[in-house]
Amino acid sequence: MPAHEQSNPWAPLTPSQLEQRKIVSVNPETVSHTAATDIPGHWGPAQDDSWNLSRFRDNLKVDFHHNKPHDAAFSLIGVDASVANAFRRILLAEIPTLAIEDVFVFDNTSIIQDEVLAHRLGLIPLTGGQEGLKWLKWFRKPPPKDDFAAQATWDAEEGEDSAASVPSDYNTIVLILNVTCRWATKAEDGRDGKALAKDGESDPNIRYVNSNVYARDLVFEPQGQQGKYFNDDEDTQIRPVNPDILVAKLRPGQRIHVRCHCIKGIGADHAKFSPVATASYRLLPQINITQPILGADAKKFARCFPKGVIGLEPSSDDSDELQAVVKDPMKDTVSRECLRHAEFKDKVKLGRVRDHFIFSVESTGQFGSSELTLDSVRLLRAKAESDGVVGTNWVLSYEGIDQLYRGLAAGNWTS
Amino acid sequence: MSNNGDTPMEELEDYEKGEELLLDGTKKLVILPGASSHAASFQIEKEDHTLGNALRYFVNKNSDVEFCGYTIPHPSETKMNIRIQTWEDTKTTAVDALRKGLIDMMEACDVISEKFTEARDEFDAKQS
């Protein structure tokens, strides 16, 4: 524990302290040593834990496990939990994405209510040309007229950027959905739906035409300058990531004709704007076998973990018996099953490595996973800059007050 | 060593009311009343744990900082208070510590994105 418990505060860290620093212990019913202890002063004056960019750069490692276009798994080693969590939070909630926001209903005679249909349309993930998506500006949506408080704030803020609250080609994408269901006819479709139905056919795909409305029925209508960025030839036009998403079901005579306005938003506003299916991380598990586990015990021990975590190898002293050896801790799910058996629960110590984060970033399809992670790092930097640079400018203008304090106690400063 | 950094009442007047910083018309960063040169609470608008915890970590890594903690006064408002106290016998003021923390965070992000891009390109090259 802290420096005062060391016999000599100037001595380097003992092995158990080093382990405490590096590992979060996983015990049968508890988790201990969870807090990070790498702050200056915690381990005594001999330990230098202050921020050092070159030391950080040397210790930082990024190892990829797989990098498919919309699913990346990588290990980020050497950062603190608060920073890794900041990246995860930004991935979920603060990266701008395009999604359907306003649905203007011209005709909806289907059984799906307007608002339910609009909700479903909003949740459809869209994709399109990256360059165009970055070019798109923000659309400031005016609050509903019956929310007086929000309306008052809105009217007060109105002025300079009133242009941002007008839908135009640089902030809104228009998608049209126009589907009508009818009976299949001999003339148009080569089969007589009504006749087949009389004969007992019950499959709606055969009886009717357009009875299922899929996401692929959304038609992109480029407005103004959008044709430059989103065009058919280069396959950059706005389209749903998965064309087979079922939006509604219709029967003959029913029609859905809506116009959808898509705008940029962030996940914090509505989950439909979140660019990741999910982004999560876990810490690397650590299994420390303190005393050899041999023979039948070793086999039982291996069965307490997922396949591939524990391997059996000929024991060093007695080559007839097999001993348990840790092969791949990354596959472990830390179920603590081995701590439930008296034979080896005292021979093993479970834990997690405090600064080794195994990230899994699954994108919904609008952006690539590795690009999303880079965006989240850049966004955290931008947040710091907007508070820091602007903060710095402010302090510079108040340098006078700063000088005053320094001048007053000038005699007391050490150096 | 007499004064020990305790500033007389008159000089504290300038920090009595919250010193403000305007960004887009809303006060982004405010120094809350009662601050002194080495101990101050800052209130940052439109920020939450994402920036708060990371910033707290970087400010704590500064050996001149005696105390740094952050809190979100009420979850319904997007305000974050961060309190920084620096050791009285150092030159670093609370504002200095905040600034250094933000700059360190920016530099760390640069290093991370650099290494990430490198690792990603290396991995892609190895796969193909």
Look at residue B19 in the predicted model and tell me its pLDDT.
Answer: 55
Q: Higher model confidence: residue B4 or residue A46?
A: A46
Distance from CA of B4 to the nearest CA of A (A): 7
According to the model, what pLDDT value does residue A399 have? Answer: 41
Taking an 8 Å cut-off on Cβ atoms, the answer to whether B98 and A391 are in contact is yes
Question: Using CA atoms, how far apart are residues A371 and A71, in angstroms rounded to an integer?
Answer: 11
**Residue A226 CA, distance from chain mean position:** 29
Is the pLDDT confidence value at A159 over 50?
Answer: yes
Residue A10 has pLDDT above 70, yes or no: no
Question: Which of A342, A294, A302, A299 lies closest to A326, judged by CA?
Answer: A302
pLDDT of residue A388: 64
- Ranking A287-301, A376-390, A400-414 by mean pLDDT, the lowest is A400-414
Does residue A29 have a pLDDT over 90?
yes
Determine, for residues B112 and A406 on separate chains, whether the beta-carbon distance falls below 8 Å: no
**Per-residue pLDDT for A2 more than 60?**
no
Partner-chain residue, chosen from B5, B21, B124, that has the shortest CB–CB distance to A391 = B21
Residue A103 scores a pLDDT above 90: yes
Confirm or reject contact between A64 and chain B (CB < 8 A): yes
Whether A371 and chain B come into contact, CB under 8 Å, resolves to no
Is the confidence at residue B53, as pLDDT, over 70?
Answer: yes
Q: How far away is chain B from the Cα of A293, in angstroms, using its nearest Cα?
A: 37
Residues of A in Cβ contact (< 8 Å) with B53? 82, 85-86
For residues A241 and A413, the model is more confident at A241
Distance (Å, whole) CA B57 – CA B48: 14
Q: What confidence category does residue A121 fall into, taking pLDDT thresholds of 50, 70 and 90?
A: very high
How far is A315 from chain B, CA to nearest CA, in Å?
A: 36
For residue B95, give the amino acid letter.
V
Confidence (pLDDT) at A142: 85
| Rounded average pLDDT over B23-35 | 74
Instruction: Closest CB to A409: pick one of B3, B98, B104.
Output: B3
Q: Look up tokens 């349309």; give the residue.
A: A121
Whether chain B has a CB inside 8 Å of the CB on A410: the answer is: no
Instruction: Quote the ipTM score.
Output: 0.84
Closest by alpha carbon to A227, among A135, A147, A291?
A135
How many Å apart are CA B105 and CA B107, to the nearest integer? 5
CB proximity list for B90: less than 8 A, separation 6 or greater:
A413, A414, B64
CB A206 within 8 A of CB A196: yes
Number of H helices, E strands in chain B: 3, 6
pTM exceeding 0.90: no
pLDDT at A157 over 80: no
Q: In chain B, what residues touch A398 (CB-CB under 8 Å)?
A: 19
In angstroms, the CA B95 to CA B93 distance is 5
**A118-146 mean pLDDT:** 90
Mean pLDDT to the nearest integer, A105-112: 96
* Mean pLDDT across chain A: 87
Q: Taking CB atoms and an 8 Å cutoff, what residues of chain A touch B60?
A: 39-40
| Whether pLDDT at A202 is above 60 | yes
**Chain B, nearest residue to A57 by Cα:** B111
Residue A218 has pLDDT above 70, yes or no: yes
pLDDT surpassing 80 at residue A413: no
